[in-house]
Amino acid sequence: MTKEFLRTYLSCCRDGTVHGCFTVISYTGIQGPTGPQGVTGPRGNTGATGATGSTGATGATGMTGPAGSDGAAGATGATGTADSLAVGNTTTAEPEEYAAVTDSGSGNSHVLDFVIPRGATGATGPKGEDGISPPVSGECIFSAEGTYASGNEYVQFGTSQIFPAGSSVVTASGTEIKLGNSGVYLIDVRSLYSLSASGMVNATVELNGVVQPPSTLVMGQMSGSASGFILINANADDILKIKLDNIADLANATFYVVITGYSVTG
């Protein structure tokens, strides 16, 4: 089926004069097949950016990447406060209790208290062998006080005492100390003195008139004290004396003599 169209046109000259008119009759025929696609034309300009869409769901976590390089060292921190440590109380506990250490201090100050259980009583050991008596045993102790008498080179003894009381092992009379028994005697001599002039006075122990050199007391200051001792092996009835030299330089002196007697048993 076709469609008919009438169109009327005016015929005009170039000068604008109308010479006549004519009618054109047109018909629309059957649509023919689509022709081949033409060549794509040039791309047009990019249009304006549309509105941002909504954020999509978070995707799965990807693999961990390689470690980065170390960062620069940070600034040095402030100096801290040093702790102090002290030992407090130490307590002995019973054997069945546990050992313990507690800190009774505060802050940086620590005070450690210890609880230490004592050991349990051990089993009784075997009886030891009988002891052997020493070959030397103490027999007596004698003490005497003597003084310097002006012009006399030997010390004069006055007050004396002996233990055990009443023993005659050692006795003193005048300038002599008598040893009643044979044995070993430790003789300890001490003096308090003052000199009349600058000088030196020596005091020595004599046994039966023989000076015992190790016993010398040196009195070399204007006033002071001197002491010495000697160990001798004496016989019964031996005589001890204390002899002074340079007595012209001696103003006064008091002597204290302590004698311990020993007996040899083997």
Q: What is the model's pLDDT at position 256?
A: 93
Q: From CA 245, how far away is CA 226, in angstroms rounded?
A: 15
Tokens of 102: 């507690």
pTM (two decimals): 0.48
Q: In the CATH hierarchy, which top-level class contains the domain 136-264?
A: mainly beta
C-beta of residue 186 within 8 angstroms of C-beta of residue 215: no
> Considering the chain, what percentage of its residues have pLDDT values greater than 90?
28
The closest alpha carbon to 250, from 148, 164, 176, 158, belongs to 148
pLDDT class for 252, splitting at 50, 70, 90?
very high
| Top-confidence residue, 9 or 94 | 94
C-beta of residue 7 within 8 angstroms of C-beta of residue 26: yes
pLDDT class for 132, splitting at 50, 70, 90?
low
Report the 10 Å Cβ neighbour count for 243: 16
Mean pLDDT computed over 152-156:
94
C-beta of residue 172 within 8 angstroms of C-beta of residue 240: no
63 SS3 class: coil
C-beta of residue 91 within 8 angstroms of C-beta of residue 114: yes
The pLDDT of residue 42 is above 80: yes
pLDDT class for 258, splitting at 50, 70, 90?
very high
pLDDT per residue as tens digits for the range 24-34: 455 556 777 88
Q: What is the model's pLDDT at position 10?
A: 47
The pLDDT of residue 152 is above 60: yes
Task: Give domain limits for the chain.
Answer: 136-264
Mean pLDDT computed over 118-123:
82
Q: Which residues contact 90 (CB under 8 A, 6 or more apart)?
A: 113, 114, 115, 116
List the single range of 1-10, 41-50, 106-115, 202-211 with lowest mean pLDDT: 1-10
